[in-house]
Amino acid sequence: MKPENRNIRPEKESIMAELQDRVSGALYMILADYHGLNMPQTDELKKSLREKEASYNVVSNRLMRRALNTEVPADLLSGPTVMISGDGDVVEVAKIIRTFSKKNKKPVVKGGILEGKMITADEVGQLAQLPAKQVLQAQLLGTLMAPCSQLVGVMHQKVASLVYVLNAVREKKEQEA
């Protein structure tokens, strides 16, 4: 009998239902190996993630595989696994994880899911290298506003040139008179 066909205990069913809700409701989900993190380190990481509206939950690999309902690479759900998920800015969360991992050598990112698509650990690292959302928005706004501001500058120059010509004509007529 396959494990999927076995009867699941009610407490496991409720855990799996909660896990499915979190997976389906999250914009992103990063899976990491938390092996070797002590309690103060875990609390520090949880606190910094909470500030960015992300949650940190230790998950069972088997229940996580069932909750995802998709084919998952074997290395993604092996060993002790923590799920970091949320609806906020994934770039900020990836930066927090990268900074924490550099400092403590843990957790080790395995990969994750971003907007329904599987991503690798390298792609999570690339997310951490992106500028913050506000910076990207400012850059986009600057790019969109550049033609308008250049047009205003050109129009201002034309008006200024006309004023200079009229002023020169006035001065010439004053000198002749």
CATH number of residue 126's parent domain: 3.30.70.1730
Side by side, the strands of the sheet bearing 28-33 are 54-59, 81-86, 28-33, 108-114, 117-120
pTM of the shown model: 0.71
Q: Are residues 75 and 26 in the same domain?
A: yes
**pLDDT tens figures, 71-89:** 777 778 888 899 999 888 8
**Domain count of the chain?**
2
* Cβ contact 85:54 at 8 Å: yes
- Report whether pLDDT(148) > 90: no
Q: Are residues 27 and 94 in the same domain?
A: yes
Q: Are residues 119 and 147 in the same domain?
A: no
User: Residue 1: its pLDDT value, please?
Assistant: 39
Q: Are residues 157 and 97 in the same domain?
A: no
Q: Report the DSSP beta bridge partners of residue 82.
A: 32, 58
Q: Are residues 56 and 119 in the same domain?
A: yes
Could you list the beta-strand ranges (E) of the chain.
28-33, 54-59, 81-86, 108-114, 117-120
Cβ within 8 Å of residue 16, ≥6 positions away? 8, 63, 66, 67
Residue 151 domain boundaries: 132-177
Q: Are residues 12 and 64 in the same domain?
A: yes
Average pLDDT score over residue span 105-115: 88
- Report whether pLDDT(6) > 70: no
Average pLDDT score over residue span 80-104: 90
